[in-house]
Amino acid sequence: MYKVDNQSAPVAAQAVACTTQQGAIPIHVHPMATACSTCAVHSLCLPLGFSSDETARLDTLISQRIRVKKGAGLFHAGEPLQNLYAVRFGSFKTTLVSPDGRGQVTGFLMSGDILGLDAISTERHACSAFALEDSEVCPISFTRLERLAGEFPSLQHNLNRMLSREIVRDHEMLMMMGCHNADERLAAFLVGLSQRFVNRGYSAHGYLLRMSREDIASYLGLRLETVCRSLARLRDLGLIAYQGRVMEILDLSGLQAQVQYGRKAALI
């Protein structure tokens, strides 16, 4: 865990050591070069309808950006809440560890997503976040953000919206775990990824899976070999094609039908 001073940007980039399973990997802190209002993913993190004054005030919250190397941990479970983190580019996974030491992947986040919301209720992080690739985040002091939200209702509304979205995702995950078989869970996962890429201006029909098969299996509550078999079955149905982590969606409506069938069957 490291502390980012949001009051003033450093004159030169700093390297902060971060412990991972492979050892110490540096995290680099840089002065902020791009304002929120001109960032390529601002429409995903910023509330709509901000006035120019509100946008300028929000820009003062973010004076630095942090580059996180692949495999490095941005924060860890049990650490105190200091910042929320807006993902500028790259991707992360969040994980929990059970009392007996077993790990569980709980989410995948990409550009425009916010990391650290799990710590708001207890002021300590419930999960850990690791970079799936070289990534960059904008740290936002939660204390200062909360203070500013009290002045700008539109910002408070956006915070409420983000928290509500997390609750909806949790509900959708519970439904998927309880109502879908392995093939349907994987189809739902791939459809969801396609939609998230579309929201970011990319194609719905082809993307690179930054997470490993093991991570996908953990997230979906399946065994690794089950995920591999489900991928093969979806491929044999002509719904997808893949080579390594490169995924091609051949029949998006067919994948969606797999998910809808599982929901209907659960209601019978």
- Nearest alpha carbon to residue 107 among 20, 173, 197, 45: 173
Task: Name the amino acid, one letter, at 115.
Answer: L
The pLDDT of residue 28 is 63
Q: Are 182 and 227 in contact (CB under 8 A)?
A: yes
CA distances from 249 to 208, 210, 234 (A): 11, 16, 10
Query: pLDDT tens across 213-249, in order?
Result: 999 999 999 999 999 999 999 999 999 999 999 999 9
Q: Which two tokens stand for residue 224?
A: 């690794």
pLDDT for res 160: 84
Per-residue pLDDT of 58-84, as tens digits, reads 777 777 889 999 999 999 999 999 999
Q: pLDDT tens-digit profile of 108-126?
A: 999 989 999 999 999 999 9
CATH H-level, domain 14-159: superfamily: Jelly Rolls (2.60.120.10)
Q: Is the pLDDT of residue 20 over 80?
A: no
CB count within 10 Å of CB 172 equals 12
Fold of 180-267: Arc Repressor Mutant, subunit A (1.10.10)
Percent of the chain with pLDDT over 90: 51
Residue 33 has a pLDDT of: 52
Across the chain, mean pLDDT equals: 82
Report which listed range, 47-56, 97-106, 241-250, is most confident: 241-250
Higher pLDDT pick, 219 / 27:
219
pLDDT recorded at residue 267? 32
Two structure tokens written together for 109? 């986040």
Whether the predicted pLDDT of 99 surpasses 70? yes
Q: Which residue is it, tokens 């093991």?
A: 214
The answer, yes or no, to whether residue 36 has pLDDT greater than 70, is no
- What residues does each domain of the chain span? 14-159, 180-267
Q: What is the pLDDT of residues 148-207, one digit of tens each?
A: 888 888 788 888 888 888 888 887 777 777 778 999 999 999 999 999 999 888 888 999
Whether residue 5 is predicted with pLDDT greater than 80 in this model: the reply is no
Mean pLDDT of 80-107: 92
For the chain, how many residues are written? 268
pLDDT of residue 82: 94
pLDDT of 60? 78
Burial of residue 178, with CB atoms counted within 10 A of its CB: 0-12 exposed, 13-18 middle, 19 or more buried: exposed
pLDDT band at 212 (very low <50, low <70, confident <90, very high): very high
Q: Give the pLDDT confidence score for residue 119 in this predicted structure.
A: 94
Rounded Cα distance, 222 and 162, in Å:
28
Asked whether 135 and 86 are in contact (CB, 8 A), the reply is no
Choice between 195 and 47, residue whose per-residue pLDDT is larger: 195
